Structure 1
Amino acid sequence: MSQAHGKEPVPSELRLSADKTMLRVTFCDGLERELPAELLRVESPSAEVQGHSPSERKLIPGKRLVTILSIEPVGNYAVRLVFSDGHHTGIYSWVYLYELARNKDEVWRTYLDRLEAASLSRDLV
């Protein structure tokens, strides 16, 4: 695959770890990251998680052990991830995956800070 007109990032490889807890994403520009299933689940681009405005964004606790059951292509611009907790409505565009990969550490820290501020846990209660 090649970059679409040099503008939008396109992954050259998506590889799910054997234990289904990590998605390795490699983009044509050389960016490569391992994204935990937990992070992908809690940052799902679905309306269920994101809401319809920033004020409606949901904080999703208890997903430390979530896994990715399958990766389904959506056209030539995205994938749908199906998670072990039944969540399957997020469409992860290449642009969204690239931004998650590029900003993984910051996104993860923000998620952990939001959990702590809300007295919530990554573990099921």
Structure 2
Amino acid sequence: MSNHEKAWPKELRVSADRKMLTVRFDDGRSYDLEAELLRVRSPSAEVQGHAPGQRVTVGGKSEVAISKVLPVGNYAVRLVFDDTHDTGIFTWAFLSELGESKDQRWAEYMAELADKGMSRIF
């Protein structure tokens, strides 16, 4: 079982400006995840598609904020963003993996935006 599969959050905290989610795991790992990255890499079908290769590049989200964090059972949270996106279920394993690969995910996102002539700014 990988660290991601065993990941158990000790604390979830949204920053005062609602632009950052801090996730602290019981094994001592801690990640600051920007609302923008969480929004554009949401595990929702709306963003990820229904099959490999269907992921949608979402631009214009540099100012997105987290409106709500809602528990989903004991395995995840649903993040509600101020642009009304609310269909992503963020499992503990997903948040762990995203935190660990954050720099790579940002680089991929920036490259996708550039390749498609899109911008982070709406």
Residue ranges of structure 1 left out of the alignment (5+ in a row): 1-6
Could you list the structure 1 runs, at least 4 aligned residues long, displaced by more than 3 angstroms after superposition.
Answer: none
Whole-angstrom distance in 2 between the partners of 1:66 and 1:73: 20
Whole-angstrom distance in 2 between the partners of 1:17 and 1:36: 10
Match of 1:77 among 75, 88, 96: 75
Whole-angstrom distance in 1 between the partners of 2:52 and 2:106: 18
Whole-angstrom distance in 2 between the partners of 1:110 and 1:55: 14
TM-score of the aligned structures, taking structure 1 as reference length: 0.92
Give the 3-state SS of the residue equivalent to 2:24 in structure 1. strand
Match of 2:6 in 1: 8
Whole-angstrom distance in 1 between the partners of 2:28 and 2:51: 33
Q: Percent identity?
A: 53
Q: 1:102-117 residue pairs with structure 2 within 5 A? A: 102-117=100-115
Write the letter of the residue equivalent to 1:12. Answer: K
Query: CA offsets, 1:58-79, max 9 Å, x none?
Result: 0000000000000000000000
Match of 1:29 in 2: 27
Write the letter of the residue equivalent to 1:10. Answer: W
TM-score of the aligned structures, taking structure 2 as reference length: 0.95
Whole-angstrom distance in 2 between the partners of 1:72 and 1:9: 18
Match of 1:54 in 2: 52
Whole-angstrom distance in 2 between the partners of 1:61 and 1:113: 12
Whole-angstrom distance in 1 between the partners of 2:40 and 2:34: 10
Number of residue pairs matched by the alignment: 118
User: Are 1:97 and 2:107 an aligned pair?
Assistant: no
User: Which shifted more, 48-57 or 68-77?
Assistant: 48-57
Whole-angstrom distance in 2 between the partners of 1:56 and 1:33: 28
Distance apart, 1:53 and its partner CA: 1.2
RMSD over equivalenced CA pairs, Å: 0.7
Query: CA offsets, 1:48-99, max 9 Å, x none?
Result: 0000112111000000000000000000000000000000000000000000
Give the 3-state SS of the residue equivalent to 1:85 in structure 2. coil
Write the letter of the residue equivalent to 1:58. Answer: V
